[in-house]
């Protein structure tokens, strides 16, 4: 059964996810070793800005490519390149405009240059590595492509550890090291994809923004919520930003690990020929995701401060933000699995609507909560955000299949009446 619903293919992506999460944890720990909580906040903020700009420029290209390759509408691996190059060119000015007021202002010219290059390089590298990996997954190459991502990202860890011992080094060098890894992944993924045996390629506008922007809205909103929380809670003190940032990173790491079985969810939902089969895939995959999250999340509920200190080499004063974020992560995971299903069955308009609504709740909740209660208030805002996310996604799935069943009943009634 696990093979039929794509869980086993999804599990191959564990190599990529484990490598990615270990990379992030060591990256943050290395930043803390160089500059303490200030260095941690700088790196989290820089990575968040790069990923937010990536989502704004990618505009659903990666997810659309996965779905079209899974359906067979795209054959040639080179068919995604023109659209990707256009998005890369648009990425550069947007990143500079966002990065300057948040990261570059108030630093020395050398630091400004270093942080600017690091953020640009990481964003572009991540754009291409994400796209090439999604193309590989759309073509069903889960095992090899995931192993490649995991190995390359793990290989950056010794670099982080070495840089962390260099006294006086600016943390932007750590972000540059991550960027070089992403560029390697993109290059190797493209070379590993075999050329198409057929000369068939996508329609000229299949990957145009007009056909991908709805999925892009979802990516932007997801990044704002899960990768740029530190930007949204910047109304609080730096200590609160760092405390909540660590809790948010743990929630993201747990969520990414739990969602590994759902990594192939888009592909298998897109391939399902019957609505009943697609609904069964959604239910079973989400059940697996829920069980996995509960198993790996419980230790962080029991020993939040001890595990934070062990992993990040810093010890927050309050454990409540960590516990609240871990609980919020369960709702986020269940919703995330459902969102993969909505994308797979082609409900891009519903995907965009849900993301916009949840992002509004997230921005209001995080900023208001942080202003009123610091890290704890921001964590409460995150919990509200993820509960709303869960309710909207699964409400949309339930309505879709309820309407499908009603339509079939009406059709059967009409056929019976005509007989």
- Rounded Cα gap, residues 274 and 245, in angstroms: 42
| Domain annotation covers residue 1 | no
Q: pLDDT (tens digit, 9 = 90+) per residue, 89-113?
A: 777 777 777 666 666 666 777 777 8
Please compute, for residue 197, the number of CA atoms within 13 A of its CA located in the half-sphere on the CB side.
1
Q: Count other C-beta atoms under 10 Å from residue 339's C-beta.
A: 28
The backbone torsions φ and ψ at residue 321, rounded to the nearest 5 degrees and listed phi first, read -60, -40
- Would you state the structure tokens that stand for residue 133, as one six-digit string? 């990996």
pLDDT at 309: 77
- Would you state the structure tokens that stand for residue 29, as one six-digit string? 């720990």
Please compute, for residue 34, the number of CA atoms within 13 A of its CA located in the half-sphere on the CB side.
25
Mean pLDDT computed over 347-352: 80
**Distance between the two ends of the chain, CA-based, in angstroms?**
39
When mean pLDDT is compared across 9-13, 272-276, 395-399, the lowest value belongs to 9-13
| Domain annotation covers residue 292 | yes
pLDDT at 411: 44
pLDDT at 356: 85
403-407 contact pairs (CB < 8 A, 24+):
404/275
- Rounded Cα gap, residues 328 and 375, in angstroms: 14
- Rounded Cα gap, residues 71 and 58, in angstroms: 21
| Domain annotation covers residue 2 | no
Residue 167 has pLDDT above 80, yes or no: no
Q: pLDDT (tens digit, 9 = 90+) per residue, 188-228?
A: 888 877 665 454 555 556 676 766 767 667 667 766 665 55
| Domain annotation covers residue 103 | yes
pLDDT at 390: 94
- Would you state the structure tokens that stand for residue 265, as one six-digit string? 């969810």
| Domain annotation covers residue 173 | yes
- Rounded Cα gap, residues 383 and 385, in angstroms: 5
| % residues pLDDT > 90 (the chain) | 10
Residue 408 has pLDDT above 80, yes or no: no
Task: Scan for tokens 């950056």, then name that residue.
Answer: 156
- Rounded Cα gap, residues 346 and 181, in angstroms: 32
The residue among 60, 53, 339, 341 whose CA lies nearest residue 206 is 60
pLDDT at 48: 78
| Domain annotation covers residue 117 | yes
Q: Do you know the residue count of the chain?
A: 419
Exposure b/e, 356-369, CB count within 10 A at least 16 = b: eebbebbbebbbeb
| Domain annotation covers residue 276 | yes
- Rounded Cα gap, residues 323 and 310, in angstroms: 16
Q: pLDDT (tens digit, 9 = 90+) per residue, 356-393?
A: 888 888 888 888 888 888 888 888 998 999 999 999 99
The residue among 38, 19, 18 whose CA lies nearest residue 28 is 38
**Which pLDDT band, with edges at 50, 70 and 90, does 237 fall under?**
low
When mean pLDDT is compared across 152-161, 238-247, 263-272, 373-382, the lowest value belongs to 263-272
Which is more confidently placed, 73 or 38?
Answer: 38
| Cβ-proximal residues to 135 (8 Å cutoff; 6+ apart), any chain | 65, 66, 69, 77, 80, 189, 193
88-94 contact pairs (CB < 8 A, 24+):
88/57, 88/124, 88/127, 88/128, 90/57, 91/53, 91/54, 91/57, 91/120, 91/123, 91/124, 91/127, 92/120, 92/124, 94/53, 94/56, 94/57
- Rounded Cα gap, residues 204 and 206, in angstroms: 6
Residue 8 has pLDDT above 60, yes or no: no
The number of distinct structural domains making up the chain is: 1
| Domain annotation covers residue 298 | yes
Q: pLDDT (tens digit, 9 = 90+) per residue, 11-53?
A: 555 566 667 778 887 888 888 788 776 777 778 778 877 877 7
Residue 3 has pLDDT above 50, yes or no: no
**Which pLDDT band, with edges at 50, 70 and 90, does 332 fall under?**
very high
Domain residues for the domain of 238 are 7-418
| Cβ-proximal residues to 386 (8 Å cutoff; 6+ apart), any chain | 328, 329, 331, 332, 335
């Amino acid at each position: 059964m696990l093979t039929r619903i794509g869980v086993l293919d999804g599990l191959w992506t564990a190599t990529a996810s484990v490598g990615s999460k270990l990379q992030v944890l060591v990256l943050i720990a290395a930043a803390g070793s160089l500059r303490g909580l200030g260095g941690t906040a700088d790196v989290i903020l820089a990575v968040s800005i790069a990923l937010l700009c990536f989502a704004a420029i990618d505009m659903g290209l990666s997810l659309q490519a996965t779905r079209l390759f899974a359906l067979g509408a795209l054959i040639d691996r080179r068919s995604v390149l023109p659209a990707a190059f256009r998005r890369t060119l648009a990425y550069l000015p947007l990143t500079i405009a966002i990065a300057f007021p948040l990261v570059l202002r108030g630093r020395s010219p050398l630091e400004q240059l270093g942080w600017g290059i690091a953020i640009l390089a990481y964003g572009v590298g991540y754009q291409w590595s994400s796209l090439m990996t999604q193309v590989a997954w759309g073509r069903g190459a889960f095992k090899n492509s995931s192993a490649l991502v995991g190995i390359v990202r793990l290989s950056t860890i010794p670099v982080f550890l070495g840089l962390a011992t260099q006294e006086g080094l600016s943390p932007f060098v750590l972000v540059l090291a991550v960027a070089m890894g992403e560029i390697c992944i993109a290059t190797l993924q493209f070379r590993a994809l075999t050329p198409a045996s057929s000369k068939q390629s996508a329609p000229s506008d299949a990957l145009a923004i007009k056909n991908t922007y709805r999925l892009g809205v979802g990516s932007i909103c997801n990044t704002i919520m899960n990768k740029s929380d530190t930007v949204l809670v910047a109304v609080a003190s730096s200590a609160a930003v760092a405390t909540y940032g660590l809790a948010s990173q743990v929630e993201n790491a747990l969520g990414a690990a739990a969602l590994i079985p759902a990594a192939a969810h888009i592909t298998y939902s897109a391939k399902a020929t019957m609505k009943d089969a697609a609904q069964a895939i959604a239910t079973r995959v989400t059940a697996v995701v829920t069980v996995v999250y509960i198993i790996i999340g419980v230790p962080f509920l029991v020993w939040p401060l001890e595990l934070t200190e062990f992993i990040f080499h810093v010890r927050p004063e309050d454990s409540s933000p960590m516990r609240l974020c871990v609980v919020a992560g369960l709702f986020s995971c269940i919703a995330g699995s459902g969102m993969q299903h909505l994308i797979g069955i082609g409900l891009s308009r519903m995907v965009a609507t849900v993301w916009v609504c949840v992002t509004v709740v997230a921005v209001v909740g995080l900023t208001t909560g942080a202003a009123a209660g610091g890290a704890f208030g921001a964590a409460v805002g995150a919990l509200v955000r993820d509960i709303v996310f869960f309710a909207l996604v699964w409400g949309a799935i339930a309505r879709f299949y309820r309407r499908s069943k009603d339509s079939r009943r009406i059709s059967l009634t009409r056929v019976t009446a005509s007989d």
